[in-house]
Amino acid sequence: MTTLYWALTIYLLVIATLDIFTYKIKNSLILVGLLGFPPLIYLEGGLDGLKTSAFSIIICGFSLYYIWKLLYWLGIPLIGAGDIKLFMVLSMVLGIGNTFTTFYYALIFGGLSFIFILSPKVTFRMIQDFFYFLFYGIPFHKEASLKKIPYSVPIAIVTYLVLVHPNALPFTF
């Protein structure tokens, strides 16, 4: 593994640890990633690597932001804004295809852990809220009353799988 991947591993471990205890990803940590990874990318990929990273941030950042906004509009608060910003930082290192692969599998892994870790009552309530919003157009429960899971943990695990064991995943984008 190169210096870039070791730095990414340490970065994700710090973020996942803080997210487990606070359920928040601080903007200062996102800024550390946005300022810390470009020099490492330049050392490994040169100017072409930096151009690719900038393009990845633009495409993935906007795309994932609008996916997140759509989910909130539908009344399905699956993932937080900090997690979307984390994906934006990850897109510099992973590239566009691997970022969307990581997003897809992190949503599946996080959703399954949500269903099995939290009570079925909470899961049923979220499904009920979705259909209530679908039929009546207004959210039924406040977002703050729903339980949360730290999504940076599935993001870190899936990022590891994408980078180190890409053949372990059934398909990629």
- The pLDDT of 83-104, averaged and rounded, is 92
Distance in angstroms (rounded) separating the CA atoms of residues 11 and 156: 9
Which of the four pLDDT bands, split at 50, 70 and 90, describes residue 168? Answer: confident
Number of domains present in the structure of the chain: 1
On the CB side of 4, CA atoms within 13 Å amount to: 16
The answer to whether position 116 is within a domain reads yes
Q: Which residue has the higher pLDDT, 82 or 164?
A: 82
Question: Mean pLDDT of all residues in the chain?
Answer: 85
The answer to whether position 173 is within a domain reads no
The answer to whether position 30 is within a domain reads yes
Q: Which residue has the higher pLDDT, 143 or 159?
A: 159
- Structural domain including 63 reads 3-168
Which of the four pLDDT bands, split at 50, 70 and 90, describes residue 144? Answer: very low
Taking only the tens place, the pLDDT of each residue in 35-60 is: 999 999 999 989 999 999 999 999 99
Distance in angstroms (rounded) separating the CA atoms of residues 30 and 18: 13
Asked if pLDDT for residue 24 goes beyond 60, the answer is yes
On the CB side of 8, CA atoms within 13 Å amount to: 27
- What percentage of the chain reaches a pLDDT higher than 70? 92
The answer to whether position 10 is within a domain reads yes
The answer to whether position 66 is within a domain reads yes
The answer to whether position 24 is within a domain reads yes
The answer to whether position 136 is within a domain reads yes
- Give the CA diameter of the chain: 54
Structure tokens at 133: 């919003």
On the CB side of 130, CA atoms within 13 Å amount to: 12
Structure tokens at 64: 């994932």
